[in-house]
Amino acid sequence: MESTKDILLSIIVPVYNVQDYIRQCIESLFCQDLDDNCFEIIIINDGSTDRSMEMIEDIVGCHNNITIINQENQGLSMARNNGIALARGEYLLMPDSDDLLLKNTLKPLLKKALETKVDLLVADYIAISDNEMKKNIPIQQPETITIETTGKKLFADIHHINNVWRTIYRKDFLIENNISFIPGIYFEDVPFTNKCYLYAHKCIKTNVLLYIYRKRDASITSANTFTMRKARDLCISMAKTWELRNDKKMTQELQAILNEHVYVLFHNLLYRTIFSIEPTSNKITVLKTLLDIVPDLKFSNGYKRHLITFLFRKLPRLYIYALLLRKRIIWRL
Q: Kindly state whether residue 170 falls inside one of the protein's structural domains.
A: yes
| Res. 136 pLDDT band, cuts 50 70 90 | confident
Contacts of 283 (CB under 8 A, 6+ apart): 273, 274, 277, 320, 324
CATH number, domain of 210, equals: 3.90.550.10
Same domain as 250, residue 102: no
Beta strand pairing call for 100-101 and 39-46: unpaired
Same domain as 129, residue 20: yes
- The arithmetic mean of pLDDT across residues 223-246, rounded, is 90
Same domain as 100, residue 167: yes
- The arithmetic mean of pLDDT across residues 198-217, rounded, is 92
Same domain as 270, residue 160: no
Same domain as 276, residue 204: no
| Range in 10-14, 125-129, 152-156, 230-234 the model is least confident about | 152-156
Q: Kindly state whether residue 129 falls inside one of the protein's structural domains.
A: yes
pLDDT at 300: 84
3-state SS string for 261-294:
HHHHHHHHHHHHHHHHCCCHHHHHHHHHHHHHHC
- Residue 251, Ramachandran bin (φ over 0: left; ψ between -120 and 50: alpha; else beta): beta
Q: What is the dihedral of CA 129, 130, 131, 132, to 10 degrees?
A: 50
d(C-alpha 308, C-alpha 289), whole Å: 16
Sign of the CA dihedral with 37 first, then 40, 41, and 45 last: positive
Mean pLDDT across the chain:
91
Q: Kindly state whether residue 2 falls inside one of the protein's structural domains.
A: no
Residue 222 pLDDT greater than 60, yes or no: no
Q: Alpha helices, DSSP H only, in the chain? A: 22-29, 57-62, 76-86, 106-116, 130-135, 151-157, 171-176, 189-199, 228-243, 252-276, 280-293, 303-314, 316-332
Write down which residue in 215, 236, 262 finishes a domain: 215
Q: Kindly state whether residue 144 falls inside one of the protein's structural domains.
A: yes
Q: Kindly state whether residue 66 falls inside one of the protein's structural domains.
A: yes
Residue 330 pLDDT greater than 80, yes or no: no
Q: Kindly state whether residue 4 falls inside one of the protein's structural domains.
A: no
- The arithmetic mean of pLDDT across residues 61-90, rounded, is 96
Write down which residue in 215, 240, 270 finishes a domain: 215
Same domain as 90, residue 184: yes
> Which range marks the domain in which residue 261 is found?
223-332
Q: What is the dihedral of CA 275, 281, 282, 285, to 10 degrees?
A: 120
Helix, strand, coil content of the chain in percent (nearest 5)? 50, 15, 35
Same domain as 209, residue 228: no
Same domain as 166, residue 50: yes
Q: Kindly state whether residue 3 falls inside one of the protein's structural domains.
A: no
pLDDT at 3: 42
Burial class of residue 87, CB neighbours in 10 A (0-12, 13-18, 19+):
buried
Same domain as 104, residue 22: yes
Q: Kindly state whether residue 231 falls inside one of the protein's structural domains.
A: yes
Same domain as 265, residue 148: no
pLDDT at 328: 80
| Res. 224 pLDDT band, cuts 50 70 90 | low
pTM score? 0.91
pLDDT at 220: 46
Write down which residue in 215, 235, 264 finishes a domain: 215
Strand, coil or helix: 43: strand
Same domain as 88, residue 24: yes
Residue pLDDT, tens place only, 170-205? 999 999 999 999 999 999 999 999 999 999 999 999
Same domain as 285, residue 189: no
Strand, coil or helix: 186: coil
Residue 109 pLDDT greater than 50, yes or no: yes
Beta strand pairing call for 203-215 and 146-149: antiparallel
Instruction: Count structural domains, the chain.
Output: 2
